Structure formats: structure tokens, C-alpha cells
Amino acid sequence: MLVDTHIHLIGSDKEKFPLNRFSHPGDEWIDSSPDASEYLTMMKEAGVSKALLVQPHAAYQTDNRYICSVSSKYPEIIPVAIVNPADPDCQKSIRQLAKNNVKGLRLFSIPTPAESWIGSPETAWLWGEAEKQGLVISVCVLPSEIQEIGRCAKNYPEQVIVVDHCGFAPIHDEANPATQHLLALSQFPNIVLKVTTLVIDDWVNNKGSVSSLFPFLAGSFGSERLVWGSDFAQTKERTYKSLVDLGLAAMKSLGTSSEAPMASNAQRLWDLDKD
């Protein structure tokens, strides 16, 4: 069994699910992305049993209707939503999302704000509501906010926190402050690293081989706190199966623990066995 913890898809029915674009670098993938029915075929061909459909901020911002509609039709595709904490109806929205099979919330802080909000006192209610609803929180930030994740982990020790894309830290460079800050998060047992294709690519481009990546991260976090995600269709220049195969190749170096980041960790963290 394989679980992809990070995919993005765009609905083909633009009238029912209109785009609400936010300009992020490389957002042209939106125009050629497959929808859920097309992805399902690719998913089966690649041997992936379940996938987390992460709300694509560049396409829909905080309108989660499409990802919720997918899960109602294809239960093997599980939504992770983005909400706006400043919305007065946000708490009600989180409760409704949980009823619609949403398994997680993504705190999306790109571009980096002047003052970090992910762990501010003003958003404490959001963390409380996520814990109440049993939602995993994933955090998508640039390197300058990595240390804020540690503050969140300390303040909410019972909440699972997944660091998307390893915080975009240049992990091939251990001397880089962002990498040091990322590795320092290993002291918090509730923090999990999500290793996506762009992280693998960066490592290979700088190290020449994929084999040392997961052992390096497992040395700090342990294999039980690592998960894999393809980042398809945002990572679109290769076939979906090739992205899955790359992830499998990267895991082999973990030996007997190689299965965990590609399957059982995600099942446990997002409670997917019930689905």
C-alpha cells in the first residue's frame, strides 16, 4: 500500500468550481492540471492506494468546495483544506469541513507576512478547534518562519504538525541556518516532515544521489516522523508514476523502515485506516 500525502488537482467544471487565482511562482500548472477522475487512473497505475488532496492556494485560495466534492465521490482521495483565520465564520467553517471528510488544515503563510500569524495568540482558537475536530495541521512556510513552527509545537504539544516541503530549507547544506532550524524541530515529538518531490530533486541536484536523503532526515526525526508527497500536478514535467517511483527509490535506503514514510506513517497520522 502506498499513500501520497501531497497532491493538487483542479476541477474541470470551471462554472461549478470557479478559479480564484492567487499569483504564486510557477502557477501555470493550474491550466493543465488533471481533475480527480483523470488522476484516479494515474493513481491506480502507479500503485497508490490513497492520496491527500491539498487545497491548491494558487487556484482556489480558501474556497475548498472542489476538494470536498472530490472526497464525496472518490473516498480514496482525502482533502486537506486551507482556511482564513481572519474570517469571522472560520470556526464554523472548520467544523463543517470536518463533517465533509477533511482530515487536515493547511496553514499557508506564503508570501511571508511582516509578522508571523501561525502561532500568534490571535490564532490559538484555530489550533484548539483543529485538535477538537481531530484535524492534522500542516504548515506551509518559507525558511524565515521555520522557527515559528517550533513555537507552535511547544504551545500545542498534542497537535500533530506536518512541515510541508521541509520548510523549503536547503537541507543539502547542513551549515545553512534554515537547515539548522529545521533539524532543531526534531526535539518536538509532534512535528513530522513532509518530503516532497522538490525536496528530493534539490537533494539529488546537489548531492548527486537520492540514497542519502532519507537516512539523513531519519537521523534527526526517525523514520516514523517522515512522510512522502509527490506534489503532483504542481510538479508536472514528469509522469505521476515516475514521481511515485522516485519516492520509492529514495525510500530504499531506509532498509526495513522504507515502507513507513510511503504508507503506514500517513495512515496513522491522518487516521486513514477508518476510510
**Cα distance between residue 58 and residue 3, in whole Å:** 24
pLDDT of the residue at 238: 93
Compute the distance between CA of residue 70 and CA of residue 165 in angstroms, rounded to an integer.
24
Number of domains in the chain: 1
Q: What is the pTM of this model?
A: 0.96
Spatial distance between the Cα atoms of 76 and 40, rounded to a whole number of angstroms: 9
What type of residue is 202?
A: D
Q: Which pLDDT score is estimated for 236? A: 82
CA-wise closest residue to 141 among 163, 170, 172 = 163
Cα separation, 3 vs 77, in Å, equals 10
Letter for the amino acid at 35?
Answer: D
- DSSP bridge partners of 51: 4, 77
By the 10 Å C-beta count (0-12 exposed, 13-18 middle, 19+ buried), 105 is classed as buried
Beta strands 191-196 and 226-229 are parallel
Secondary structure (DSSP) of 166-231: GGG--TT-TTSHHHHHHHHGGGSTTEEEEEEHHHHHHHHHHHS-STTHHHHHHHHH-GGGEEEE--
At residue 162's C-alpha, the angle toward residues 67 and 146, to 5°, is 120
**In Å, how far are 87, 139, 143, 179 from 147, measured between CA atoms?**
26, 12, 8, 11
Q: At what angle do helices 240-251 and 213-221 cross, to 10 degrees?
A: 60
Which residues of the chain are modeled with pLDDT < 50? none
- CATH of residue 209: 3.20.20.140
Q: Residue 26: what pLDDT?
A: 82
pLDDT of residue 275: 53
Q: Which three cell numbers stand for residue 131?
A: 485538535
For 129, the domain range is 3-274
